[in-house]
Structure 1
């Protein structure tokens, strides 16, 4: 029995580095344990992205077709207005096709692994929350994942409209051929899709900051006008064309979600205040007795 216990202790110490450090009472942890846990969360997220990217690399051909879809839609829109327009996508360099496939696989892996790395972000913050606030973990994942995917899809939808608008400035009837470098086009597509996806996580981040007592609903209310103005500036910066439709496609949903996040934070503060009043009242009654 003693031998089995020692063996179990040795196994526990041997594999301790592969587990996150446990928080003490009240969710307290030392600075070193926080650093160790951060390292653990980053490693888990990295491994998840590597695995999903490796799987995506096997299916790179249909993924490249998905990547090319915005270009094809933009090309059709351009030729509908100017049938003589010439538009081609080219690869420059010997390793360009391989780099293209690697980038496509990594982006697909990053999107596919979003449930895992979003959970790691939340799990890193959870130990510092109260017991009732930890119940928000499921709600966090349940809202962050679809919001990220929704933002990514919106960016994918906006991209061809912006490309078509910009390339329509090409003079007609002059025999000009627009050559798009495939890797540069992919970099633009990645930027738009990821920025749209990450931007849609804004309400979740605001609620999260409210839960850990960093941000209040009063601060959100005071910054509402400037935040909405910033969303329109962000929409103009992120989308490739800067046209009003694409800009509003990002700014309006973000503005609505900002107001919703403000309302959720206000409701959470009221509930927290009510709970605290209940605790204080019970303690006061006990002291009188």
Structure 2
């Protein structure tokens, strides 16, 4: 009897060690995926550092100049509507540096932000490569376009944040004063932080359909639940729009909230597709 107990204990210990080794093997695999992602981001950061003149003068400082694409389009829209209120001919912004190493730090930080932005699709690819072996064949087929759709939504969100939200915010905040005796002088770090936050935050918010897909696949969200909660979603979207846009004017909030409403409706469609796939799979397995 004691021998049987000993053998059973040895088997259980062996299974435990095997599970622990499997766990550490997964950690090691995850570590290499993260290392490759970090290397990709570093490569993009070095490239951004090398081409910094173009990136800084054209991309980062673009929304601070009246010849920026968005301002030119608003002027054309004003011409079509025969209204001068749309045209922005001057941006009242003066940028300063107040630290000894401020400009060097600014170059490093902005290059790193560009590197993270450009490396984000590759990071998603590495995440997909890590998760893919744990999925069943049907789940792999269902999620085969994850990297493409997530990267596409991120890029669209980045462009929307950069060309719509950022210039509106820069124009409003740079011209907002509570007294003519107070002159607006903006630190470069503050300007870069505002542009990066508005742009990257919008790119992340545009991942809403991907989040809905994941939650629907886990059975947490259903199209019926999302339709029933549409009225609450409107309130949440308006709050998110107010947080993303530091300007209190209704026009900017409306511009931001419209694509979020569209993304929510797209999320309902995505949840419906996931639910239909689940029902079809259940029928094929003879469980429905």
Name the TM-score class by shorter chain: 0.7 to 0.9
Relative distance call for 1:209 and 1:33 in structure 2 (3 A) is farther
Q: CA offsets per residue over residues 167-214 of structure 1, 9 Å max, x none? A: 333368x46532110111101111110100000011112112323444
Is the aligned partner of 1:63 residue 2:89?
no
Q: How far apart are the structure 2 equivalents of 1:130 and 1:113?
A: 28
Is the aligned partner of 1:111 residue 2:104?
no
Is the aligned partner of 1:40 residue 2:32?
yes
Which residue in the other structure is 1:216 paired with?
A: 222
TM-score under structure 1 normalisation? Answer: 0.76
Aligned Cα root-mean-square deviation (Å): 3.0
| Cα distance, 1:125 vs structure 2 | 3.2
User: Contact 1:149–1:197 at 8 Å: present in 2 too?
Assistant: yes
Which residue in the other structure is 1:50 paired with?
A: 42
Q: SS state of the match for residue 178, structure 1?
A: coil
Is the aligned partner of 1:162 residue 2:169?
yes
TM-score under structure 2 normalisation? Answer: 0.76
Is the aligned partner of 1:88 residue 2:80?
no
Q: SS state of the match for residue 95, structure 2?
A: strand
Which residue in the other structure is 1:193 paired with?
A: 199
Q: CA offsets per residue over residues 204-245 of structure 1, 9 Å max, x none? A: 121123234444334433433322321110110111213222
Relative distance call for 1:214 and 1:134 in structure 2 (3 A) is farther
Which residue in the other structure is 1:204 paired with?
A: 210
Q: CA offsets per residue over residues 104-154 of structure 1, 9 Å max, x none? A: 111111111122111223333333433122124442222111211111111
Is the aligned partner of 1:130 residue 2:136?
yes
Which residue in the other structure is 1:72 paired with?
A: 65
Which residue in the other structure is 1:276 paired with?
A: 282
Alignment size in residue pairs: 251
The equivalences for 1:219-238 within 5 A come to: 219-238=225-244
Gaps of 5+ in 1: 1-28, 285-289
| Cα distance, 1:30 vs structure 2 | 4.8
User: Contact 2:93–2:184 at 8 Å: present in 1 too?
Assistant: yes
Relative distance call for 1:38 and 1:209 in structure 2 (3 A) is farther
Q: How far apart are the structure 1 equivalents of 2:132 and 2:215?
A: 12
Relative distance call for 1:222 and 1:164 in structure 2 (3 A) is same
